[in-house]
Amino acid sequence: MRSVINDPVGEHYWELEVLFRTAGDLPKRLGSLSDALRGQHLLHAKMYPLYEKCDTFCCAFTLGLRGVSMEGMHHSIREALGKDVVSLKHKLVSQSEVSSSNEPPRCGSLDEAGWAVLLQSLAGNFGTGALSAIHSTGLEIGASKGRELAQLHAREDWFMLLMKGLDALQSSGWGKYQLLKTGTLPHNIEVRIFENLECKAAMSVHPFENSFTRGYITGLLRSLLSDNIMVREERCIRKGDDYCSYVIE
């Protein structure tokens, strides 16, 4: 995708979301999509598999159009991907919205060793009460992120907002996530976190559970679904599993 990125010009931009089947050849599909976007003013591109259990991939772009309408862009993408296109969505955004959304908030961070010291100190001084406080903190931060995303992307489906909320967690270094559908209801979801920072930092802290991560996911989903859902940790790296698994109930 780097080959189609240009410096942005113009006053208005579009957010474009493309869902498509990979048909067993993701590099080829991405190459075809890249060709369809060539020459446009692509500011940002984000790509990820939608589900592990089905062959669907998502690409989200912010771009300015050059010499083509959005209808023409839809036609080019459908022509490039053919019957593999699952859905195409777009919305117009102003340059000021793009600029403001690209200004990252200031944040401080601790590495794994730093978090280990912090968690050991909290557990040593406050015992199991520390777990409750950490969970409540994650719950509020997740809920706040959900409200923020719902306000910024009012027209987007809640599931896409969930992925944006998990993207924020992932980009902050908390681990790499996967989403899986576990049933027919909208909230039947499993969130898998690989390389979970909280879990690895707490290896030497007893007793401990991944309170912040579970709280964040719970708060995020409660704010997006307006439902008092519960999240249960089913698998854990501390117990020898390859990832931490959070099942929504």
Domain's final residue, options 58, 77, 101: 101
In a domain, 107, yes or no: no
Q: Which two tokens stand for residue 164?
A: 């944006």
- Give the angle subtended at the CA of 171 by the CAs of 205 and 121, to the nearest 5°: 20
Q: Which two tokens stand for residue 158?
A: 């809640």
Which parts of 84-210 fold into alpha helices (H)? 95-101, 112-126, 128-152, 158-171, 197-201
Position 23 pLDDT exceeds 50: yes
Pair 156, 124 in one domain: yes
With CA atoms as reference, report the closest residue to 18 among 66, 57, 72, 76. 57
Domain's final residue, options 70, 101, 132: 101
Q: What is the structure's pLDDT at 210? A: 79
Taking only Cα atoms into account, the Rg of the chain, rounded to an integer number of angstroms, comes to: 20
Q: Tell me the HSE value of 34 on the side-chain side, using a 13 A CA sphere.
A: 14
Q: Structurally, how many domains does the chain consist of?
A: 2
The pLDDT-based confidence of 45 (bands split at 50, 70, 90) is: confident
Pair 129, 195 in one domain: yes
Output the average pLDDT for the chain: 83
Domain's final residue, options 101, 129, 150: 101
What are the two backbone dihedrals, phi and then psi, of residue 106, each rounded to the nearest 5 degrees?
-70, 140
Pair 77, 199 in one domain: no
The CATH number given to whatever domain includes residue 238 is: 3.90.1520.10
Assess contact for 79 and 87: CB atoms under 8 A: no
> What pLDDT, in 10s, does the model give residues 98-117?
655 555 556 666 788 888 88
Pair 81, 155 in one domain: no
- The pTM of this model reads 0.61
Q: Cβ neighbours of residue 34 under 8 Å, at least 6 residues apart?
A: 1, 3, 4
Q: Dihedral through CA 40, CA 46, CA 49, CA 51, nearest 10? A: -110
Pair 226, 159 in one domain: yes
In a domain, 214, yes or no: yes
Range of the structural domain that residue 143 is part of: 112-248
- Give the angle subtended at the CA of 192 by the CAs of 191 and 197, to the nearest 5°: 115
> What pLDDT, in 10s, does the model give residues 183-235?
777 778 899 999 999 888 888 777 667 789 999 999 999 999 888 889 999 99
231-235, strands of its sheet edge to edge:
176-181, 189-194, 244-248, 231-235
Pair 13, 81 in one domain: yes
Q: Give the residue with greater pLDDT, 7 vs 209.
A: 209
In a domain, 106, yes or no: no
Position 65 pLDDT exceeds 90: no
Name residue 248's beta-bridge partners. 231
